[in-house]
Amino acid sequence: MISPRLCPVCEKPLGPEVTSESGCFPFCSRRCQQIDLLRWSQGKYAIVEPLSPDQVMEQLDKEGGKELEGWEE
């Protein structure tokens, strides 16, 4: 017997419509996906000095660049 997957945000069982192709996996919805992203980024930035929006954009640019380099290799 396979136990149902639970959404890591709201802990509701994921419906059969939630698959890796649905875009929000492993969350039950786009909303939970965004909540998790927000929590993650807040936790990350909470341990360093508060960043201005410009600094956040700069940080995202750096991280995006790293990821792109990784994909090209």
Give me the residues that bind Zn ion (CB under 5 A), please: 7, 9-10, 28, 32
Rounded to an integer, what is the distance from CA 38 to the centroid of its chain?
A: 8
**Least distance in Å: CB of 32 to Zn ion?**
3
**Least distance in Å: CB of 34 to Zn ion?**
11
**Least distance in Å: CB of 23 to Zn ion?**
14
Our CB check for Zn ion shows the closer of 31 and 44 to be 31
The answer to whether the CB of 17 falls within 8 A of the CB of 27 is no
* Nearest CA-CA partner of 3 in 17, 16, 13, 12: 13
